[in-house]
């Protein structure tokens, strides 16, 4: 799967989820965007929604907060243009189906939130616009994931190039012991043709790095400019100016470390094999014509010619030259 010119068979996509950490303030969104642009992130992500279609008034406190934290469509279009100037990619999650068109205008891929894994009106709109889908799987059973994957496949036969699944635990924050990172391996085995990634809600970076080590090809982490003295929940599970750059650097280093599998010594080690292994050395002065015995040899680095397993080639045979004590037999 390719996203933003990255071949995710070989590369990794690191996304900073701004979400609602701007708290409805354009200036705050710009601060987070600028931080993202200097932190090594490949892309940033926004959450788009119509409060009336996203949250009922049954939870009036949450409804009012969502109204307060909502930016306008024009604000998001402005942020998209700003991101392009800062040379960072943008994608979005339409949390209500009427925002799919705006999310699709940001680029080639649209994110579907865990809560909408079985909400097909949003998925249908994305497919109609021929956009790739990154689908979070928080709170979903394997049966539910199977059902949605099969649904998308019926709509789009090129699913291997257009759908990615993100392992996710939808608790905020997620305790690291509940991160269930091994599920990434399960998803990779269950959906071998799909790109598998990880959406993080843990406060600790170790959950993210473990996910990368297990083969996550897309990593999404919440970001904010500065989480000190912030009341909104999402700030506390976010990475900020104090640690975001180091996190991204670590993600990309871990990804590099797990890219290759070799059952034989890597080429870069070949030159050091002789230096690392023990060779056969004269433990006593050996004269030309004298036989090699267990009493006049021992083993020490480097293995210039003979190694331990070559000992039978020497024992009982006559030396063709003189060897001083401590020098390799060669």
Are 242 and 292 in a shared domain? no
* 43-90 pLDDT per residue, tens: 999 999 999 999 999 999 999 999 999 999 999 999 999 999 999 999
Are 206 and 77 in a shared domain? yes
Average pLDDT value over all residues in the chain: 94
In a domain, 324, yes or no: no
Please count the other Cβ atoms lying within 10 Å of the Cβ belonging to residue 268: 7
Contacts of 239 (CB under 8 A, 6+ apart): 205, 221, 222, 223, 224, 247
Domain of residue 65 covers 7-257
Are 157 and 235 in a shared domain? yes
CATH of the domain at 244: 3.20.20.70
Name the domain count of the chain. Answer: 2
In a domain, 244, yes or no: yes
| Cα(41)–Cα(20) distance, integer angstroms | 18
Give the containing element (helix H, strand E) for 19.
strand 13-19
Are 292 and 157 in a shared domain? no
In a domain, 178, yes or no: yes
Are 151 and 48 in a shared domain? yes
Are 154 and 275 in a shared domain? no
| Cα(273)–Cα(207) distance, integer angstroms | 36
| Cα(101)–Cα(240) distance, integer angstroms | 30
Closest C-alpha to 90, from 201, 200, 16: 16
Are 164 and 287 in a shared domain? no
* 212-266 pLDDT per residue, tens: 999 999 999 999 999 888 889 899 999 999 999 999 999 999 999 998 877 777 7
Q: What is the pLDDT of residue 303?
A: 87
Are 247 and 111 in a shared domain? yes
* 86-106 pLDDT per residue, tens: 999 999 999 999 999 999 999
Burial 291-319 (b: 16+ CB within 10 A, else e): ebeeebbeeeebbeebbeeeeeeeeeeeb
In a domain, 329, yes or no: no
**What DSSP letter does each residue of 92-139 carry, written as one string?**
EEESSGGGHHHHHTT-SEEEE-GGGTT-HHHHHHHHHTT-EEEEE-TT
Are 304 and 192 in a shared domain? no
In a domain, 325, yes or no: no
Are 293 and 163 in a shared domain? no
Are 230 and 289 in a shared domain? no
Are 172 and 292 in a shared domain? no
How large is the greatest C-alpha to C-alpha distance in the chain, in angstroms?
100
Handedness of CA 130, 131, 132, 134 (dihedral sign): negative
């Amino acid at each position: 799967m390719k996203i933003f010119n990255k071949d995710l068979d070989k590369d990794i996509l690191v996304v900073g989820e701004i979400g609602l950490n701007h708290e409805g303030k354009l200036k705050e969104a710009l601060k987070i965007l600028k931080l993202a642009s200097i932190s090594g992130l490949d892309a940033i992500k926004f959450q788009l929604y119509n409060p009336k279609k996203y949250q009922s008034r049954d939870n009036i406190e949450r409804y009012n907060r969502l109204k307060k934290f909502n930016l306008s469509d024009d604000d998001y279009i402005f942020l998209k243009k700003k991101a392009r100037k800062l040379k960072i990619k943008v994608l979005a999650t339409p949390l209500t189906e009427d925002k799919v068109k705006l999310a699709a205008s940001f680029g080639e891929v649209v994110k579907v939130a865990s809560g909408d894994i079985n909400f097909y009106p949003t998925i249908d709109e994305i497919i109609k616009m021929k956009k790739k889908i990154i689908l979070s799987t928080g709170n979903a059973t394997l049966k539910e994931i199977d059902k949605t994957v099969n649904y998308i496949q019926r709509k789009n036969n090129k699913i291997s190039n257009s759908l990615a699944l993100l392992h996710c635990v939808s608790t905020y924050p997620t305790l690291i012991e509940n991160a269930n990172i091994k599920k990434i391996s399960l998803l990779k085995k269950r959906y071998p043709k799909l790109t598998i990634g990880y959406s993080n809600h843990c406060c600790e970076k170790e959950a993210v790095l473990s996910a990368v080590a297990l083969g996550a090809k897309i990593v999404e982490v919440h970001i904010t400019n500065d989480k000190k003295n912030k009341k909104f929940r999402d700030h506390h599970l976010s990475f900020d100016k104090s640690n975001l750059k180091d996190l991204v650097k670590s993600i990309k280093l871990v990804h590099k470390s797990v890219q290759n599998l070799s059952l034989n010594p890597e080429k870069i080690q070949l030159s050091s094999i002789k230096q690392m292994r023990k060779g056969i050395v004269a433990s006593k002065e050996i004269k030309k014509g004298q036989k090699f015995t267990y009493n006049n040899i021992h083993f020490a680095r480097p293995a210039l010619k003979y190694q331990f397993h070559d000992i039978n080639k020497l024992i009982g045979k006559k030396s063709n030259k003189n060897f001083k004590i401590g020098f390799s037999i060669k």
